[in-house]
Amino acid sequence: MEASAIDSNDTAASNVMPSSKALDSSTSPIKKVYTSKSTFKAGTTVKIKVATTKSVKSVSVSIVGKSKYNHRLKKSGTGLWYCNLETKGLKTGKYKLNVKAVVSKKKTYKKHVYLTVDNVAPKIRSIKSNSTKITAGTPFYIEAIADKSSKKVLVKVRGKTILFKASPMAVNKKSFNSSNSNNWTLNAKISYKEIGTLTINVYVYDSLGNYVKKTLYIKSSPRYVYWNGTLLKNSPVKAHYHNPINDYQRAINLLSNYVNVYEGYAGGIHTLGVTHHNGYKVTRVVIAYKDPFVVYHEMAHVLNWRWSEYQCDVYAYEKVGYWVL
């Protein structure tokens, strides 16, 4: 007698495993088939569970027309057969998943469910920033308008990830049909330490994890200030601050832990400060401008006297948040 194959009518599995619609037949030992997802993007692991009668000796699943997507199921202690179906490499489309149960060499039963693979990313209709150049530390806005499949939008900039918020109105006032578009806005403030051209990667995701990426570039400049508190003394006076009361005094106190610090004329009307060293280490520092930026600039020379003036400026800028000209 030839082995018999009993195939059920086409029925889609539920997305929620415990409440899935069962593929059931009174003549088949395959009682129920569950899938953790019925629609997903390629690469998602789909959990398959099959309930059978005790007469079943083995269970396997396969995607019709895709020979490499075959899995032999294991049996749990509760009597359910299970496996994790790998879906990497599947293209967008609808697939038929065959479930085969073997009772004996002469008795094989089949049921099937349909699975849908969706690899289509959301479509971006517009991504704009309200500025292409900012002063570091000031807020800027980015608006993203994407189709209705968009469920999450975020940016990644210099190691930071920031989420957009859903917005009922576009910042740039451009009108899109609300029936097929979602508006998202980002109100971001870049730390004062961020200078130069910021590469801002915007990612728009759908509910399945498909995403599209768009890159924006915003120039971030320091906040420049001018200081006119020059000390015009030809004989520098050693600075002592035993009980600092402001940012400048705190900076002097910290620098004094490394080297002798003086206040006074430093060799030129536009000279902010000067560091004296003997080729091996710094011996003393003269501060000509009473400003924390100047103190931290000279401290950079103390910590690494081989640094250039620009490197020391950047070190000071990171400490105080502005740049003295």
Same domain, 104 and 194: no
DSSP structure string for 111-160: EEEEEEE--PPPPEEEEEES-SEEETTSEEEEEEEEETTEEEEEEEETTE
Looking at the structure, tell me whether residues 85 and 172 fall in a common domain: no
**Pair 94, 77 in one domain:** yes
Number of H helices, E strands in the chain: 3, 25
**Phi and psi dihedrals of 19, rounded to 5?**
-110, 20
Structure confidence at residue 9 (pLDDT): 41
104 band by pLDDT with thresholds 50, 70 and 90: very high
Q: How many domains does the chain have?
A: 3
Domain boundary among 221, 245, 278: 221
Q: What percent of the chain has pLDDT over 90?
A: 55
Q: Find the helix packing angle between 292-303 and 309-320, rounded to 10°.
A: 130
Containing 51, the helix (H) or strand (E) segment is strand 46-52
CATH of the domain at 17: 2.60.40.1930
Residues 293 and 272: their CA atoms lie apart, in Å, by 9
Residue where a domain terminates, one of 88, 117, 146: 117
Residue 186 or 14, more confident: 186
Mean pLDDT over 206-221 rounds to: 94
Cβ neighbors of 208 (< 8 A, separation 6 or more) are 39, 40, 41, 44, 118
Residues 26 and 66 grouped into a single domain: yes
- Contact yes or no for 140/128 (Cβ under 8 A): no
CA-wise closest residue to 172 among 142, 216, 200, 151: 142
> Which residue, of 221, 248, 273, is where some domain finishes?
221
The predicted pLDDT at position 176 comes to 54
Least confident of 77-91, 96-110, 273-287: 273-287
d(CA 61, CA 74): 11
Pair 71, 145 in one domain: no
* 233, 236, 242, 247: CA torsion to nearest 10: 60
Answer yes or no: do 129 and 209 share one domain.
yes
Contact of 187 with 142, CB cutoff 8 Å: no
In this structure, are 77 and 10 located in the same domain?
A: yes
Which element (helix H / strand E) includes 315? helix 309-320
Phi, psi dihedrals of residue 318, rounded to the nearest 5°: -65, -25
What's the mean pLDDT in 154-162? 90
Range from 83-97, 219-233, 254-268 that averages highest in pLDDT = 83-97
**231 part of a folded domain:** no
Q: Are residues 155 and 244 in the same domain?
A: no
Answer yes or no: do 162 and 111 share one domain.
Answer: no
End-to-end CA distance of the chain: 96
Do residues 157 and 128 share a domain?
Answer: yes
Is 162 a residue whose pLDDT tops 90?
A: yes
108 falls within a domain:
yes
Residues 100 and 190 in one domain: no
> What pLDDT does residue 97 have?
96
Identify the band that residue 174 occupies on the pLDDT scale cut at 50, 70 and 90.
low
Contact 184, 166 (CB under 8 A): yes
Give 170-234 as a DSSP string.
-TT-----TTSEEEEEEEEE--TT--EEEEEEEEEEETTS-EEEEEEEEEEE--EE----B---S
- The pLDDT value given to residue 2: 35
Please check whether residues 79 and 131 belong to one and the same domain: no
Q: Is residue 210, in this structure, part of any structural domain at all?
A: yes
Q: Comparing C-alpha atoms, which of 297, 244, 281, 239 is closest to residue 264?
A: 239
Q: What is the pLDDT of residue 98?
A: 96
Domain-embedded: residue 228 = no
pLDDT confidence band for 10 (50 / 70 / 90): very low
Task: Give the domain extent around 52.
Answer: 4-117
